[in-house]
Amino acid sequence: MFTRKYILLFTFIFAFFSAFSQEETDKEYMLDIVDAERRAHECLIDYRFNELTTDYDIKYHRFDWEVDPAELYIKGSVETLFEVTEDNFTTVHFDLNTNMTVDSVIFEGQSLSFTQSEPSLLTIPLLQTLTTGDMRTIKVYYQGEPTGSGFGSFAQGSHEGHPLIWTLSEPYGAKDWWPAKQDLNDKIDSIDIYVKTPLPNRVATNGLLLDSLQVGNDMIYHWKHRYPIPAYLIAIAVTNYDIYNQYVETDGDPILVSNYVFPEELGWAQTMLEWLPPMFDLFNDLFIMYPFADEKYGHAKFGWGGGMEHTTMTFMGSWSVGLQAHELAHQWFGNMITCGSWEDIWLNEGFATYLDGLTREHGISDGSWENWKQSRIGHVTQHPDGSVMVDDTTNVGRIFSGRLSYSKGALLLHMLRWKLGDEDFYQAIRNYLNDPDLAFGYARTPDLIEHLETQSGQDLTEFFNDWYYNQGYPAYHVEWSQSFEDVLKVEIFQTPSHNSVDFFEMPVPIQFNGGGNSVTLTFDNETNGQSFYVPMDFEIEEAVFDPELWLCATHSMTVGTRDPILAENVLEVFPIPAVDQVTLQLENARAPMQHIRVFDVSGKVVVSNELSDVWKTELNLSELPNGQYVIEVKTAEGLGIQKLTKGL
């Protein structure tokens, strides 16, 4: 098991760097990630796709670029293989900022005329008419000084006096530095990237490095990527990187992790990146094998805060353990399967946040699993409203809400795991990732729900109505008491924090301790004020609500119940042990029986009978299996409680 395999490593790292880890609290690192990703994606919110580019589908790009990080400039060409999707196709349109100067366009060996118009349209009339299904190649030669979109679509910086160029290829910014089709829902089937840059610079980008060729004082790097990728996840970073390679062992070939590191940070990066292989092991084991395993994973340090999960090459603003986990998780949840709508951003961010939590649960982090859960619950419950579903997709702050899309999205997954159990939960997620209609494409929340319900056999309509579509969380109040018959009575009351939910139906765990004994019972709470009775063979000294923090909720506990308990000798139940029938009789009581309930050892009601004010009655037990039960008799005077054994 990987946790045992790395225990010595973890012990060493924790002991040596505990001082550093204390500086980065759960809350602080979470806010850093949320703020960085919000800013990284903010440009997407105002994006409106170009309707002129909807009549063709991109199959392949070959990029040939010349980049010197000492100059804010790019020169090169983009070759595009496209398939026509509508008849009478006569013109190719690309999104390209007019700050980029197009030198020429070549189509099937011929030079074509073109026009560039504000704000960012490249129009290329063809010399022929194409029909649906035709495949053609076109090549655009261009150059210029890119203008940023406000978040560094093509940015220049430095480290220790060395120049650095990096891109943040969001849809609103990709057109700033290359002729693109900026359709959020059109993934390019494959790409090749060639970058020429002066020595001693290196290039970090998507895919696998195939070749590096020295030409005079320059190097040409050739990378290939053979998985579907949207235009906004294509990125390059160029500076005098040192390369630190790691390998993640698998049942097959090892996975290459190629880290492009500032030379002055190499030692620190190597130390912090020791956490990465066990993270890979965990995600591979819990979900599916890393989806780009035959290429690589990697990191490139860049000059911007936070991180950006470019496919197979995450750009990192720091080497923090939490950031490593969050961005690695995005390779499965965000890159392999991308949320199909801003409403569903939690499919990216909720998963990435929860997977960071899972590294803590399995000891692969410098943070505590307990603290992570407490922090997420505290984050969500600091305000009474808010749904995981984004109800305002025009508001970037709402889409990238740390409290709702990240923390509550992660806790939604945590509660699903509690409700379904580990086996069904993880298998459902594996089925989701392996779905050929979703893998390397797009998904919506109902796609995930379908896999969760199919695997578990549970109807999750109520759960997702409460926790995804509607707002708030439950505030529980629990009252408990232990009678003279060693019977535990538990009553669970609930107040939703927001009026969009009438009641949160959830299994509620409570731990009972006393005299060195401890037991955790799970109560299937379906109604407000619900009562449960459980036989208990030790005296309870304390009760702990949700000891392992499965629920996104607040709570309070009270010893004692609202209904008075009748004296020990008032209710008689015989014979005990029972076979198929028992007699219930009141002695010395001031009020007759009105209602009878029988509870099994889990506290679940298995018999419920209304009575017409009787003092004695027969109770049929023939449908119940042998075992321990508790009988509750309700009168106007109070409750009579007795333990019952059947067939033993």
Q: Are residues 203 and 190 in the same domain?
A: yes
Q: Are residues 620 and 585 in the same domain?
A: yes
Phi, psi of 130 (to 5 degrees): -105, 160
**Cβ–Cβ under 8 Å, residues 646 and 633:** no
- Sign (positive or negative) of CA dihedral 603, 605, 609, 611: positive
CA angle 444, 446, 451 (to 5 degrees): 110
Q: Are residues 93 and 166 in the same domain?
A: yes
What does the alpha-carbon distance between residue 269 and residue 300 come to, in Å, rounded to a whole number?
Answer: 11
The pLDDT value given to residue 43: 57
Inside any domain, residue 9 = yes
Inside any domain, residue 481 = yes
- Sign (positive or negative) of CA dihedral 113, 116, 117, 120: positive
The pLDDT value given to residue 305: 77
Inside any domain, residue 153 = yes
The pLDDT value given to residue 495: 96
The pLDDT value given to residue 493: 97
Identify the segments of the chain with pLDDT beneath 50.
1-24, 149-150, 171
Task: Give residue for tokens 């293989």.
Answer: 81
Helix (H) or strand (E) holding 644: strand 639-646
Q: Are residues 282 and 422 in the same domain?
A: no
Inside any domain, residue 331 = no
Beta bridge partners of 337: 333, 441
- Spell out where 121-263 has E strands: 121-130, 135-144, 154-159, 162-167, 190-198, 202-205, 208-215, 218-225, 236-239, 242-248, 255-261
The CA-atom distances, in angstroms, between 203 and each of 180, 309, 371, 593 are 21, 17, 39, 82
DSSP 8-state class, residue 602: T
Inside any domain, residue 49 = no
Alpha helices in 6-158 (DSSP H): 7-23, 26-45
Task: Name the burial class of residue 46, with classes exposed (0-12), middle (13-18) and buried (19+) by CB atoms within 10 angstroms of its CB.
Answer: exposed
What does the alpha-carbon distance between residue 228 and residue 235 come to, in Å, rounded to a whole number?
Answer: 14
Residue-wise burial string across 450-463, b where 16 or more C-beta atoms lie within 10 A, e elsewhere: ebbbebbeeebeeb
What does the alpha-carbon distance between residue 642 and residue 585 come to, in Å, rounded to a whole number?
Answer: 12
The pLDDT value given to residue 170: 52
The pLDDT value given to residue 278: 97
Q: Are residues 143 and 262 in the same domain?
A: yes
Q: Are strands 218-225 and 154-159 parallel, antiparallel or unpaired?
A: unpaired
What does the alpha-carbon distance between residue 617 and residue 530 come to, in Å, rounded to a whole number?
Answer: 25
The pLDDT value given to residue 367: 81
The pLDDT value given to residue 561: 66
**Cβ–Cβ under 8 Å, residues 254 and 223:** no
Can you state the angle between helices 26-45 and 321-332, rounded to 10 degrees? 40
Q: What is the DSSP string of 394-422?
A: T-HHHHT-IIIIIIIHHHHHHHHHHHH-H
Q: Are residues 76 and 221 in the same domain?
A: yes
Query: What phi-psi label fits residue 308: left (phi over 0), alpha (psi between -120 and 50 degrees) or beta?
Result: beta
What does the alpha-carbon distance between residue 244 and residue 269 come to, in Å, rounded to a whole number?
Answer: 9
Determine how many CB atoms are found less than 10 A away from the CB of residue 308.
Answer: 29
Residue 615 maps to which CATH number?
2.60.40.3080
Q: Are residues 393 and 445 in the same domain?
A: yes
Peptide bond into 200 cis (omega under 30): yes
SS3 200: coil
Domain tally, the chain: 4
Phi, psi of 599 (to 5 degrees): -115, 140
Q: Are residues 232 and 265 in the same domain?
A: yes
Q: Are residues 168 and 109 in the same domain?
A: yes
Residue 553 maps to which CATH number?
2.60.40.1840
The pLDDT value given to residue 28: 65
Q: Are residues 106 and 236 in the same domain?
A: yes
Q: Which of 469, 495, 521 is the last residue of a domain?
A: 469
Q: Which of 428, 451, 469 is the last residue of a domain?
A: 469
Residue 145 maps to which CATH number?
2.60.40.1730
Q: Are residues 464 and 486 in the same domain?
A: no
Peptide bond into 119 cis (omega under 30): yes
- Encode pLDDT of 490-511 as tens digits: 999 999 999 999 999 999 999 9
Task: Name the burial class of residue 556, with classes exposed (0-12), middle (13-18) and buried (19+) by CB atoms within 10 angstroms of its CB.
Answer: exposed
Question: Taking the mean position of all CA atoms in its chain, how far away is CA 107?
Answer: 44
The pLDDT value given to residue 186: 81
SS3 322: helix
Inside any domain, residue 156 = yes
The CA-atom distances, in angstroms, between 213 and each of 51, 216, 275, 344 are 40, 10, 33, 44
What does the alpha-carbon distance between residue 472 and residue 467 come to, in Å, rounded to a whole number?
Answer: 8
Residue 447 maps to which CATH number?
1.10.390.10
Nearest Cα to Cα of residue 295 among 203, 235, 208, 206: 208
Phi, psi of 462 (to 5 degrees): -65, -40
Helix (H) or strand (E) holding 452: helix 445-456
The pLDDT value given to residue 183: 75
The pLDDT value given to residue 168: 84
Q: Which of 559, 591, 618 is the last residue of a domain?
A: 559
Q: Are residues 224 and 300 in the same domain?
A: yes
Please tell me the total number of residues recorded for the chain in this structure: 648
Kindly report the pTM of this predicted structure.
0.86
Inside any domain, residue 93 = yes
Inside any domain, residue 588 = yes
Domain that holds residue 375: 2-44+338-469
Residue-wise burial string across 131-157, b where 16 or more C-beta atoms lie within 10 A, e elsewhere: eeeeebebbbbbebebbbbebbbbbbe
